[in-house]
Amino acid sequence: MAEPAGVTEPAGSHRFLSMLRGALERFYYIPYCAVCDEAVEPPTPSPFVCKNCLSQLPFRMGKEEVSWEGSFPLYATFFYKDVLPGLIVSMKFSERTDRARALAPLMARTIQRQGLTADAIIPVPLHRRRLAERGYNQAAILADFLSKSTGIPVLNSLLIRHLETDRQSEARSVRERKLHMRDVFCLDRTSPLVAGLAGRPVLLLDDVVTTGSTLMEAARPLLAEGLRVTGLVAATGRDRYLGYGEAAQQW
């Protein structure tokens, strides 16, 4: 993160400490697996997941394009099964944002494999009150790490969640939830970006898709503005999981 300009004395000593910390980390830092918390023997295919966990993650081999009712394409890197629910829940509620750092490079491979192109990544926003409560938006953190892996910039300020949905919304029926989500999201009309959006491709990013209603509603104002939206999530339980043997047979 950039140092604020114009700060001299405290920033100088702060910079020295942060350089020292950086040097120590480079020499003595032992990476650990974000899934099992054990030390990782480098090199690994993903720098933050050990080989054992990597081989057990429920990748959506050949099924990254999700079957769903949305009007735009949706991709997911993992099935929402095995260790994924635990990873996602801890990323959301227990400040295990290191898990976003571990998942993002693997999601970047979905972007690459599927040939997805985008001018920006737009994380599904939280309502400002929820954001204040939790202190962070897991989708925005995932977006930042994904941006590091792909070079696609993150657009945080455009899409706003202007209505707060209650926590029980997860338990509602799909129909009730769809009604409930209507007009929850809008665009920041004061943003200078609004003018040049039509036709631009964007990745709308979230951690999980369950019913799909949140992602559909978040996309609504973007689609209305003429943006070409592609959805990307870490995980969804949609489509049938293929075991490794079955998947290998189909290849």
Strands 159-161 and 185-187: antiparallel
With CA atoms as reference, report the closest residue to 232 among 128, 106, 58: 106
CB of 82 to Zn ion, least distance (A): 13
Q: Which is nearer to Zn ion, 54 or 160 (CB)?
A: 54
Using CB under 5 A, pick the residue from 11, 31, 32, 36 that binds Zn ion: 36
Residue with smaller CB distance to Zn ion, 47 or 153: 47
Taking the least distance from each CB to Zn ion, the nearer of 75 and 145 is 145
Site string for Zn ion, 44-73 (x = CB under 5 A): ------x--x--------------------
Under the criterion CB under 5 A, does residue 247 sit at the interface with Zn ion? no
CB-nearer residue toward Zn ion: 53 or 142:
53
Question: 3-class DSSP state for residue 187?
Answer: strand
* Smallest gap from residue 135 Cβ to Zn ion (A): 26
Nearer to Zn ion, 82 or 170 (CB): 82
CB 52 within 8 A of CB 45: no
* Between 104 and 202, CB nearer to Zn ion: 104
Q: Which helix (H) or strand (E) holds 129?
A: helix 128-134
By CB under 5 A, tell whether 83 contacts Zn ion: no
Q: What does the per-residue mask of binding to Zn ion show for 184-223, with x meaning CB under 5 A?
A: ----------------------------------------
Is residue 140 near Zn ion by the rule CB under 5 A? Answer: no
Q: Using CA atoms, how far apart are residues 34 and 28, in angstroms rounded to an integer? A: 18
Q: CA–CA separation, 143 vs 134, rounded Å?
A: 17
CA quadruple 89, 159, 220, 61: dihedral sign: negative
Q: Which residues contact 77 (CB under 8 A, 6 or more apart)?
A: 59, 60, 64, 103, 106, 107, 109, 110, 233, 234, 235
The CB-of-38 to Zn ion minimum distance in angstroms stands at 5
Tell me: cis bond preceding 10? Omega within 30 of 0 counts: no
Q: Which is nearer to Zn ion, 105 or 231 (CB)?
A: 105
Region of 1-9, 43-51, 126-134, 172-180 interacting with Zn ion (CB under 5 A) = 43-51
- Helix orientation angle between 138-150 and 84-93, rounded to the nearest 10 degrees: 110
Query: Near Zn ion by CB under 5 A, which window of 35-43, 61-69, 83-91, 121-129?
Result: 35-43
User: How do strand 185-187 and strand 120-123 relate by DSSP bridges?
Assistant: unpaired
Using the rule CB under 5 A, is 106 a contact of Zn ion? no
- Please work out the total of residues on this chain that contact Zn ion, with binding judged by CB under 5 A: 5
Q: Give strand pairing partners of 74.
A: 231
Positions that interact with Zn ion (CB under 5 A): 33, 35-36, 50, 53
